[in-house]
Amino acid sequence: MSSLIATSGAPSPPLRALAFNCSLKPAQRPSSTGAMLGDVRDALAAHGVETDIVHAAAHNILPGTRSDEGPGDDWPALRARVMAADIVVIGSPIWIGQPSSIAKRVLERMDAFIAETGDDGRMPSYGKVGAVAVVGNEDGAHHVGGEIYQALNDLGFSLAPNAMAYWVGAARSAEEYRELKPVPPSTMDATQLMVRNAVHLARLLQQSAYPPKA
């Protein structure tokens, strides 16, 4: 209950989250990244946060680092959804020990925020909280999280402690997160912790924005 109430005692404005499912699979095929983001969405819902999940591969996100790369680019509409969110989650599988190419494409397009810094010295992403969800059956979860963390921080997002939920199966196994019944308690605990801290930080930033440049 305390996470839903501002320090003044008045109800806090509702928070909204946007999660990018950066699986390489098409939207009609179930993915472990999607399954983990479903768990993240459920955890956010328990804190009163509505979550929109975007299957990035289903959109024509053109290569580039501008907010609009011209005809056929789906990013401007997705960018508007980022701007409407208080929490942005990047969900990525591990491929060759790296974030997926689609996760990198999403981050590359948000690079435009750096050039869009206003006269107040703040990027349009200031005040938004970033988080990461990673799944795979090879080593590299912390490396993937580290790459995405750094990118999100460079792009103006704030990171709460323990800002990553992840699951890694046995190396080279066919085990999938989406097939786990149940999900290991340690993984669910990490998801709950990530969400709890992200929501707390988002509420603090609602109440006290970063100061403009002097």
- Report the distance separating Cα 108 and Cα 124, nearest Å: 15
The residue type at 110: M
Task: Identify the CA nearest to 36 among candidates 82, 89, 86, 81.
Answer: 89
- Report the distance separating Cα 121 and Cα 46, nearest Å: 35
Mean pLDDT of residues grouped by 10 in the chain (214 residues)?
46 91 95 97 98 98 97 98 98 96 98 95 97 92 96 98 93 86 94 98 96 88
Q: If you ran DSSP here, which 8-state letter would residue 5 be given? A: B
**Chain Cα centroid distance, residue 125:** 13
Quick check: pTM over 0.75?
A: yes
Query: Residue 209 — φ and ψ, nearest 5°?
Result: -75, 160
Query: What angle (nearest 5°) sits at the alpha carbon of residue 100, between those of residues 96 and 103?
Result: 155
pLDDT of residue 9: 58
pLDDT of residue 174: 80
The verdict on domain 17-207 having CATH code 3.40.50.360 is yes
Distance (Å) of CA 126 to CA 86, 205, 207: 10, 9, 13
pLDDT of residue 169: 86
Task: Identify the CA nearest to 99 among candidates 62, 130, 138.
Answer: 138
Q: Are the C-beta atoms of 33 and 91 separated by less than 8 Å?
A: yes
Domain ranges for the chain, please list them: 17-207
- Report the distance separating Cα 27 and Cα 132, nearest Å: 20
Torsion of CA 129, 152, 196, 91, to 10 degrees: 120
Cis peptide before 182 (omega within 30 of 0): yes
